[in-house]
Amino acid sequence: MLHIPRWKIILILLMCALSFAYSAPNLFSKEAREWAAASLPSWMPHKTVNLGLDLQGGSHLQLQVEVAAVLRQRTDDFTQALRPELRKEKIGYTRISALPDGFRLTLKPGQDMAALRKIVRGVDPELVLTASDDGETLEARLTPAAIKAIEDQAIEQSIEIVRRRVDETGTREPIIARQGNDRIIVQLPGLDDPQRVKEILGKTAKLSFH
């Protein structure tokens, strides 16, 4: 005959009672849980298990950050900061053209390339400068490390913006995470209105450098 010590029986019954007590709030309505939280002692269990997207459904979105647009904005900021400095130092140039990772500046004949380098270094000391053989054209490009830092900053700021907008939906424990180089995954358990999600998240955010 199987014999179980009394203390083990008491322990099993106690664990079963605690398990039922902590799982009971999931069986009650929202109004009943709110009444329990307001009326019962604070140590009494009143929280429910938050069901994930796989159990209660919801919305799953994949957002793409326009990293190339952020880099273009950064190069535009370079040229905007460079023009007044060139005027102040009276350095003449024929044109400034944007590159995917920097810009190209063509000087007028007889201008000082060394002075131009000094001005560009003042705008951003991390730019890689390459002068043409004739000494009239200067290319300034971001390093791969600088580009990676800009991309990471854009992704992190975009995640923060998405998180603030998701808070407007009232969704509990949303999942917002980076995926790959330029994408953000958003999972909103319990929110099955994709149009509303698109309206909230679809506003364009602009990242500027000063």
Please say whether the dihedral angle defined by the alpha carbons of residues 10, 15, 18 and 24, taken in this order, is positive or negative. Answer: negative
Local structure of 104: helix, strand or coil: strand
120, pLDDT greater than 70: yes
Encode 168-190: b = buried (16+ Cβ within 10 Å), e = exposed. Answer: ebebeebebeeeeebebebbbbb
Summarize the confidence of residues 40-67 as an average pLDDT. Answer: 66
Q: How confident is the model at residue 209 (pLDDT cuts 50, 70, 90)?
A: very low
Contacts of 209 (CB under 8 A, 6+ apart): 73, 74, 77
Summarize the confidence of residues 10-17 as an average pLDDT. Answer: 84
Per-residue pLDDT reduced to its tens digit, 54-88: 555 667 778 888 888 888 888 888 888 888 988 88
Is the model's pTM score more than 0.75? no
31-35, 88-92, 134-138, 176-180: segment of lowest average pLDDT: 31-35
